[in-house]
Chain A
Amino acid sequence: MDRNQTHRNRRRALKVLHFSALFLTMAVICIPGLWIVLNSFRPTVEIMAKPPVWTPSFTLDHYRAMFGGAGEGGVPVFSYFRNSLIVSVVSTFIAILIGMSGGYAFARYRFKGKSGYFVGLMLFRAVPGVALSLPLFIVFAKVGIIDTHLGLILVYVAMNVPFTIWLTDGFFRQIPKELHEAAEIDGCTRWQAFWKVEFPVAKSGVASAAIFAFLTSWNEFALASQLTRSVGSKTMPVGLLDFTAEFTINWGGMCALAVLMIIPALILTFLVQKHLIAGLTFGGVKG
């Protein structure tokens, strides 16, 4: 056969393989999410049916029940949502402030033990959060901040700061130092040079760091389930446990709450996606 033809066939076969692999990967990632959304709109019998029901019926019962009274399978969605929002927004804000300052310091200043501190911060990320749940529980219980917003906020700030430092350090490194020097010569103080020149330039990076920090706090379950107890402090992921009873799990209700959980994260990501993509590629070209 013509050698060109052989190469053409091989290229076609590789393309088919490539797309099949992509499809499989995307399926693995997307199907659980799709399953959650679809099942939040299906009656419980259909969710658990064997063999599966291929033509689903549509119902809003799970949502109705979730927002209903305590006796009708309702959960305090608004309280959980409020708790999640307070904890995530405040912890993200604080983590970004601290992390951005830290990232800037690592990128711009020379100081003793710099690389040691940096490695230390990264090592902190290597400790599984759950391993800290017992010591945190004991300490928080003694201090009296167990089952409070403050306790969770502290934990999430500690979790997010190292990652934020690492991410923003990369972004600030990308900005030539001549920019703040030019600003200082143009009459800025160091502080003004940062806010008027370097921050706006690095804002994609800061936005992506903020999104990551927010999503980490918004979705965190393991520590929140240990450190919160009451309606006044439980976050949405912990609230999902309300649908489990001793012998049953209300899959439909759980899916409905999960959908409510996904929506704000989805909206936020959509709003800042321009920055997120710019930020990620900006960081991506770092040598």
Chain B
Amino acid sequence: MTEVTLSNVVKKYGAHQAVHGIDLDIADGEFVVLVGPSGCGKSTTLRMIAGLEDISGGEVSIGGRVVNDLPPRERNISMVFQNYALYPHMTVRENLGFSLHIAKQDPDQIKIAVDDAAAILGLDELMDRKPAELSGGQRQRVAMGRAIVRHPDVFLFDEPLSNLDAKLRTQMRAEIKKLHQRIGNTIIYVTHDQVEAMTLADRIVLMRDGHIVQVGTPLELFNTPVDTFVASFIGSPPMNLVDGTVNGANLTLTDGTILPIPLTARGLLHDGQAIHFGFRADNLMPIGHAVDEEGEIITLDLTVTLTEPLGTETVLFTEFGGAEVQAKMFNPRPVIPGEAMKFQMVLDKCHVFDAKTGKAIRS
């Protein structure tokens, strides 16, 4: 069993505190993605788990064993770095076998393990090349091979796809997911890309300013964000947020639009309370180009200001409630900016956030 537990983990650099006492339990075989904007402490947290950064406070355990003061080599982990960190003076074969060589394993066993890893990642043709002779994707694959060859308890990935182009990133993302399905080890993966987080994770840990903001499955974070930060970070395009105030049983938005309070927030708001009204682009769709939805549906007459055709869908920009918002059109037809359209919105899928704290208000 190789679960990873962080208890009240703190990282300080002099007077500056980068990580503020985070708690996290990662189950054996779980794929957990730490995600957040630059400087949120996600990489620092990963490096503390790896043993590359000292822990200023709290405890890190791997497989039930506290590892705070153990050097990286005694934690039985593997790590894939953003810049691959392949040993430039060694061939691919030597890179893959390096850890086993250091562990003084039998050369025959090293060969078998290296060949196995190479076969898994399709590196057989590249074994005698040096890293400088490989493309970005091949280097990334070698870095992954180096990680799997020694059968570690936990894999750590530090923004491994950031240096790849968009197409290769999608391809490697799928390979990482396949790899996890195949070997089933615990994986902790750091990224600033919410798409990577959504597509890869069993559970996402969203961080900001050294704190964990929300932990949950990708759909939990997408459907029930705890605050406006999560709502605008997760999902592409981000959640539309419109300012408004509570007015009896209704919400009055900045431009005077009046809407009923969504079901989930009813009874939790008080008159005159300032709020943000939130909804996803795929909950504001032109009638006739929407997916079938159930629940309390309202219709809105809006004018399209800009279109972004994406093939299977078109993102429409429009003004609503005094703010620019994005809507989605499925089975799209050409739309001219300035065109007035009838939109529908499922009220039950909308969110209400307190304007002062940014926290979600829902039952």
Contact = CB atoms under 8 A, between A and B. Distances in A.
Interface in A241-283: none
A270 B333 CA distance: 72
Contacts of A179: 85, 87
A184 interface: yes
Main SS class of interface, A: helix
Contacts of B81: 178, 181-182
Given A182-B81, A185-B72, A189-B73, 6 more contacts: A178-B81, A181-B81, A183-B98, A185-B50, A185-B78, A186-B102
Contacts of A184: 51-52, 71-73
A37 interface: no
Interface residues of B, number: 23
Interface string A179-201: 10111111111001000110011
Residue among A178, A192, A197 facing the most chain B CB atoms (10 A cut-off): A178
8 smallest beta-carbon distances between A and B, as pairs: A186-B99, A178-B85, A182-B85, A187-B102, A187-B73, A200-B89, A184-B72, A178-B81
A173 to B, nearest CB: 15
Interface of A: 176, 178-179, 181-189, 192, 196-197, 200-201
A189 B103 CA distance: 11
B56 to A, nearest CB: 16
Contacts of B87: 179, 182-183, 197, 201
B224 interface: no
8 contacts: A176-B83, A178-B82, A181-B72, A182-B79, A184-B71, A186-B73, A188-B102, A201-B87
Contacts of B51: 184-185
B325 to A, nearest CB: 42
A201 B103 CA distance: 21
Contacts of A182: 79, 81, 85-87, 146
Interface string B83-115: 101111100000000110011000000000000
Contacts of B83: 176, 178
Nearest to B74: A187
B77 interface: yes
